[in-house]
Amino acid sequence: MSEVQTHRVQPAWKKRALIDDKTYQQWYAESVESPEAFWGEHGKRIDWFRPYTKVKNTTFSGDVSIKWFEDGLTNVSYNCVDRHLEKRGDQVAIIWEGDNPYDDKKITYRELHDHVCRFANVLKKHGVKKGDRVTIYMPMIPEAAYAMLACTRIGAVHSIVFGGFSPDSLAGRIVDAESTFVITADEGLRGGRTIPLKENTDRAIDIAAKNFVMVKNVLVVRRTGGKVGWANGRDLWYHDEVASVPAECAPEQMNAEDPLFILYTSGSTGKPKGVLHTTGGYLVFASMTHQYVFDYHDGDIYWCTADVGWVTGHSYIVYGPLSNGATTLMFEGVPNYPSPSRFWEVIDKHQVNIFYTAPTAIRALMGAGDQHVKKSSRQSLRTLGTVGEPINPEAWNWYFNVVGEGRCPVVDTWWQTETGGIMISPLPGAMDLKPGSATRPFFGVQPQLVDNEGNVLEGAADGNLCIVDSWPGQMRTVYGDHERFIQTYFSTYTGKYFTGDGCRRDEDGYYWITGRVDDVINVSGHRMGTAEVESALVSHPTVSEAAVVGYPHDIKGQGIYCYVSLMAGEVPSEDLRKELVAHVRREIGAIASPDKIQFSPSLPKTRSGKIMRRILRKIAEDDFGTLGDTSTLADPAVVDDLISNRQNKK
């Protein structure tokens, strides 16, 4: 690997930073040597109705049990709203920037309190209680944040489903969570196009009913005013409902280990799993990482471009920033609408200081040309962040030099839905930066590299990334399936949390995430299980077998490459290819759109019938010179056919 240039901490970063290198070293040492004392102290950054006396009670062995602050009582919405009212009631909590650049609004903490309380009262009025699961399928509008906070206020557990998912995917999540209350909008609006959220919800509810989960109510926020179907008695208009309930609602006293939310995410096998996060530890970790990683100071305007349907939106649009009393910007649109200058225009318009986005957006905007950036001032910017996938040094350098004009540290933050918050990342005043490296672990995070046999690798090494001890933001279980939790994360390397990522540690102890080592692919920063796409493909009547792999894609990071065998008598054609792409979009959602489909009469299998994905990956990468050992194949001739019909010829 060619050496990348190291960027030293600039004096200006250090001067204002909350954490310098000395403090980082000290705190980090304390956090791993005495986690009880360290987190006992930092747990106090949130308000507790009853302080905890126990801090950490965790084991990664046997049944795997993770408890933090277990006898403390608190409430997330209280911490994100009420506790700020005295000091910053009139400060803007949420800046909303619509899809249309002329559409925006500002919501103060006092107004947020009013909205959240009313929303909570509507939920209560319709029988939603502590512990009930509420599904949220919303566009990026402030009501999505009100809905989340309203759930936390009364102790209901939210399960947000990204608005780009299909009715089938939504139904699967409603059924798994046994959720009978759904919050949605008439339509979403992105890049000038509408998304039929209510219609999708109606269809999902029918599918869920066939699986014996009956949705009792759908609360609908009016966003576009588009026409929607209506089931009297079941469907409720949000604006009617909130008008008739009080604007006060006492926050429920929640145990630190009471469930806070479920978020479904893709794994290497089976259906998406419901990652369960709980109340106290999650909030402490989200709030602390938000403050230190972004070097957040009171009064900063902070913008994370994620969607609340992903974990980044949970932790770094809503819970982290609001628990810190920040002004958080929520953006409904897309980076290139109406033009590729949109991000930079929004930054100038709202004087954004901290900007957090994904490598895929950076690469796309880099491709659009510097002129779209240079039109804007961007003088308000102070810290830049990225998340979701490895960032290639070219994109990093462009972000640093062109967007940040060499003035702003880039924090490349590695973490996962499962980790709740940022795990490996620079702290702006404490770490020299190397483009492409997430640098060093956050407080309390103990990464370890192991080889495929589980041997611990020391010093500079390349291996599989594990975390050896618990941190407060860690997921607690797979909803309804603790066994799957143990199997997925703690059985590959017994007694360690296995991330699924490959990683290199260099001679300076810096971590470089190299990407997933399992059958998960990362498309535009969205996690996709290859098994999910395969099962969508084989559900089409013409398909007998499918194998899906990732391949390097200039903008998306990884693209989706599908090998498809057809039923006897079916004939490959361009029309069928299009039909299969449309089918996968219908089954899962647009984010799972296959980029390439290769029809092949058969797939390479071992004599025991196992598909040899290693070979399929190589062919998809157009790198078949090094196919490795093919002697175990049942029929080696299959490979020649696959190579000659490959779709990614360079």
Long-range contacts of 50-58 (CB under 8 A, 24+ apart): 50/253, 52/256, 52/280, 56/470, 58/469, 58/470
Least distance (Å) from ligand WTA to the CB of residue 490? 16
Is 413 annotated in a binding site? The answer is: yes
Residue 336 annotated as binding? yes
Interaxial angle between packed helices 280-293 and 35-42, expressed in degrees from 0 to 180 and rounded to the nearest 10: 80
47 is in an annotated binding site: no
Judged on CB neighbours under 10 Å (0-12, 13-18, 19+), 637 is: exposed
The whole-angstrom distance between residue 119's C-alpha and the CA centroid of its chain comes to 25
Considering beta carbons, is residue 353 or 413 the nearer one to ligand WTA?
413
Q: Residue 516, annotated ligand binder?
A: yes
Query: In the block, which residue shows the tokens 């209901």?
Result: 156
Is residue 264 within 8 Å of residue 161, measured between CB atoms? yes
User: Which residues lie closer than 8 Å to 281 by C-beta, 6 or more apart?
Assistant: 68, 69, 256, 420, 472, 473, 474
Closest distance to ligand WTA from the beta carbon of 229 (Å) = 32
Q: Is 412 annotated as a binding residue?
A: yes
540 labelled as ligand-binding?
yes
d(CA 519, CA 269): 8
Place of tokens 């000038």: 192
Q: Least Å distance between CB 424 and ligand WTA?
A: 8
Least distance in angstroms from the C-beta of 449 to ligand WTA = 15
Residue with Cβ nearer ligand WTA (323 or 522): 522
Q: How far is the CB of 640 from ligand WTA (least distance, A)?
A: 33
Residue 563 near residue 616 (C-beta atoms within 8 A) = yes
Rank residues 73 and 304 by Cβ distance to ligand WTA and give the closer one.
304
Amino acid at 183: I
* 223 vs 314, beta carbon nearer ligand WTA: 314
Give the per-residue SS3 of 147-158: HHHHHHHHCCEE
Is 186 labeled as ligand-binding? no
Given the complex with ligand WTA, which of 221 and 275 has the nearer CB atom? 275
Is 501 within any annotated ligand binding site?
Answer: yes
Question: Comparing C-alpha atoms, which of 161, 108, 141 is closest to residue 222?
Answer: 141
The CB-of-204 to ligand WTA minimum distance in angstroms stands at: 22
The overall longest dimension of the chain from CA atoms, in Å, is 74
Q: Which residues are bridge partners to 235 per DSSP?
A: 218
Least distance from C-beta 431 to ligand WTA, angstroms? 14
Q: Is 416 annotated as a binding residue?
A: yes
Contact (CB, 8 A) for 512 and 82: no
CB of 329 to ligand WTA, least distance (A): 19
Among residues 340 and 463, whose Cβ is nearest to ligand WTA?
A: 463
Is position 543 annotated in a ligand binding site?
A: yes
Cα separation, 632 vs 238, in Å, equals 61
In the bound state with ligand WTA, the residue whose beta carbon lies nearer, of 258 and 412, is 412
Question: 388: annotated binding-site residue?
Answer: yes
Q: Cβ 425 to ligand WTA, closest distance in Å?
A: 8
Helical spans, DSSP H, in 34-141: 35-42, 76-80, 85-88, 109-125
In the bound state with ligand WTA, the residue whose beta carbon lies nearer, of 523 and 584, is 523
Does residue 390 sit in helix, strand or coil?
Answer: coil
Token readout for 451 is 């080889």
DSSP string spanning 250-275?
A: PPP-EETTSEEEEEEE--SSSS-EEE
Nearer to ligand WTA, 264 or 563 (CB): 264
Q: CB of 119: closest distance to ligand WTA in angstroms?
A: 27
Which residue type, as a one-letter code, is found at position 350? H
Kindly state the smallest distance separating residue 481's Cβ from ligand WTA, in Å: 18
Say which residue the tokens 């939920």 belong to.
Answer: 123
> What six digits make up the tokens of 290?
């938000």
Residue 16, annotated as binding a ligand = no
Tell me whether residue 192 is annotated as binding: yes
Residues of the shown chain interacting with ligand WTA in the complex, contacts defined by CB under 6 A: 265, 310-312, 387-390, 412-417, 438, 499-501, 513, 515-516, 522, 527
Q: Output 440 or 516, the one with its CB closest to ligand WTA.
A: 516
Instruction: Name the residue nearer to ligand WTA (CB basis): 95 or 311.
Output: 311
Q: Is 414 labelled as part of a ligand binding site?
A: yes
Give the Cα separation of 58 and 36 in Å (integer).
11
Token digits of residue 258: 């009471």
- Judged by DSSP in three states, 500 sits in strand
Q: Which residues are annotated as a binding site for Mg(2+)?
A: 538, 540, 543
Q: Which residues are annotated as a binding site?
A: 190-193, 312, 336, 388-390, 412-417, 501, 516, 524, 527, 538, 540, 543, 585
Q: Which residues are annotated as a binding site for CoA?
A: 190-193, 312, 336, 524, 585
Q: Which residues are annotated as a binding site for ATP?
A: 388-390, 412-417, 501, 516, 527
